[in-house]
Amino acid sequence: MSRNRQLIQLWQQFIPLSLSDVSMALGDPLTTTTLAHLPDPRTNIAAIGVAKAIAIFCESPIIMLLHASNALAPTQASRRALWQFTLIASGGMSLLLALTTIPAIFAIVGEGWLGVSPSLSGTIRSTLSIVILWPLAIGWRRYFQGLLIHSGDSNAVAQAGLIRLLVVGGILMGGFMLKANGAVVAGMSLVWGVIAEAVAVTYLARKLGATKLPEIVSTPELPQDLAGVWKFYAPLGGTMMLGWGARAALVGIVARANDGEIALAAWPAAWGLVLVIANSTRMVQQIIIRNRKLLPDRVLILFAITVGFGCSLILLSISGTPVSEDALGWFIGNDRDLISRVRPVLLICAGMPLLVSLQNAVQGFLVSEGRTWGINQAAGVGAIVMLGVAYFGTQSGQNGAVAAALGMILGVIMEISYLFYSWQSKLINN
């Protein structure tokens, strides 16, 4: 098969999966736009940004369940053990999120660690209480998504993602028409969207037979029991805790910038737009895991570069053209001060989709080889660099959102460098 034909084949597998991530990421800008046209937009945008940072940190240990489900799908024993692990881990993370809504605990986490002002605390805690089931629904969804990807049913993953987007859009539209409390509307759309997607992906996985794949005997390297899954998954879960824990800490750095109040609104607004494009590249990792033994590594790397470069061009065209300011005005309202802080972040982060694609590509190689500790170490390096750059940026007088963007970019670059070193070191030694 020619290289061009191989790339086309990979794109055919990738596009439905990417649509799933895009439909998920679109929830952020849709939420920001809705809040911008409801009462007290700055407060609600900042509150949902902080609440989501805390919720995603509680979710972070189970983010890699999708990767684990895809990798462990070949045997029934591995799937059963991972399902048990999914219920235990996801339920535990929802319990942890529930604890953060207790006033005494939130005073430590929100007001102490993250530097949130007391005026925002009540709104953030109310939002967190609405999204308590978020981690459980996310873990459930990712388990069945992994089975569908392994069985080649990528279109089903995309269909479930569109259902989530419809539910999110419907709740936001209803809240807008009723002029309801913005933070409550955002929290409801967040949790009910993912619950709807979890139900849909479970139904489709059972309907299409992804839960009863043919047994593959020659897979002794895969864990066959709950203890084995814990050992296999620990580095992956730790990786996400490092990454998303650092992003939650980044909110604390932004809050303490010289423009902390408006920066807390500008950063999530800008980052939500960046993620719409950057997240569309994340499924590169699943394509690499699925095709690692079928295609040469150089073809898989070339595929990742084409995906990331194309998406970065899209983000650059959105943020760097003359019409971008008018588009941002529609997106976040006619707050000129907020717009002036969002635009630089979008320009700085224009290369993020390419970086995310390369990050997920090298992670995919390491996961397919069972070398998950290298991913964990790389995440630690990236987190340290990100927080260090953002901290020194705010201390030198930079706007909080710009400092966060620079930290994010340089942190991901360092993480990719370490991932590549970890991957290539074994090849060189061999």
| Tens digits of residue pLDDT in 3-42 | 888 888 899 888 888 887 887 778 888 898 899 889 898 8
Determine the pLDDT at residue 410: 97
CA neighbours within 13 Å on the CB side: how many for 82? 29
Determine the pLDDT at residue 429: 53
pLDDT digits (tens, 9 = 90+) for 56-101: 888 888 988 988 898 888 888 888 999 999 999 999 999 999 999 9
pLDDT band at 430 (very low <50, low <70, confident <90, very high): very low
Mean pLDDT of the chain: 88
Determine the pLDDT at residue 100: 94
Determine the pLDDT at residue 86: 96
Determine the pLDDT at residue 243: 82
Lowest mean pLDDT among 61-65, 79-83, 321-325, 363-367: 321-325
pLDDT digits (tens, 9 = 90+) for 118-132: 888 999 999 999 999
Find the mean pLDDT for residues 183-208.
95
- The total number of structural domains in the chain stands at 1
Determine the pLDDT at residue 196: 97
Structural domain boundaries, residue 408: 3-429
Whether this model's pTM surpasses 0.85: no
